Amino acid sequence: MRIATWNVNSVRSRAERIAAFLERNDVDVLAMQETKTADAKFPYAVFDAAGYEVAHVGTNQWNGVAIASRVGLEDVQTAFDHQPAYEGTVEARAVGATCGGVEVWSLYVPNGREIGHPHYDYKLQFLYSLQLAVDTNAPQLFVGDFNIAPRDENVWDISWFEGKTHVTEPERAAFQMLQEAGLTEIRHGDDYSFWDYKSMRFQKNQGMLIDFLLATEPIARKLDRAWVDVDERRGKGASDHAPVIADFDTRPLAYDEVR
Tell whether residue 56 is among the known ligand binding residues.
no
Residue 128: active-site member: no
Residue 108: active-site member: yes
Domain-embedded: residue 60: yes
Tell whether residue 9 is among the known ligand binding residues.
no
User: Over the stretch 115-127, which tens digit does the pLDDT of each residue have?
Assistant: 999 999 999 999 9
**Looking at residue 11, what is its pLDDT?**
98
**Looking at residue 258, what is its pLDDT?**
47
Q: What is the CATH number of the domain that holds 13?
A: 3.60.10.10
Domain count for the chain: 1
Residue 241: active-site member: yes
Tell whether residue 28 is among the known ligand binding residues.
no
Q: Which of 21, 28, 3, 57 is nearest to 239 (CA)?
A: 21
Domain-embedded: residue 170: yes
Domain-embedded: residue 254: no
Tell whether residue 7 is among the known ligand binding residues.
yes
Tell whether residue 241 is among the known ligand binding residues.
yes
Domain-embedded: residue 253: no
Domain-embedded: residue 259: no
Q: Which of 108, 120, 122, 192 is catalytic?
A: 108
**Looking at residue 227, what is its pLDDT?**
98
Residues in the chain predicted with pLDDT less than 50, given as ranges, are 255-256, 258-259
Q: Which of 28, 52, 120, 241 is catalytic?
A: 241
Domain-embedded: residue 87: yes
**Looking at residue 251, what is its pLDDT?**
78
- Residue type at 18 in one-letter notation: I
What's the domain range around 198? 2-248
Q: Which of 56, 122, 145, 211 is catalytic?
A: 145
Predicted structure pTM score: 0.96
Beta bridge partners of 170: none
Domain-embedded: residue 256: no
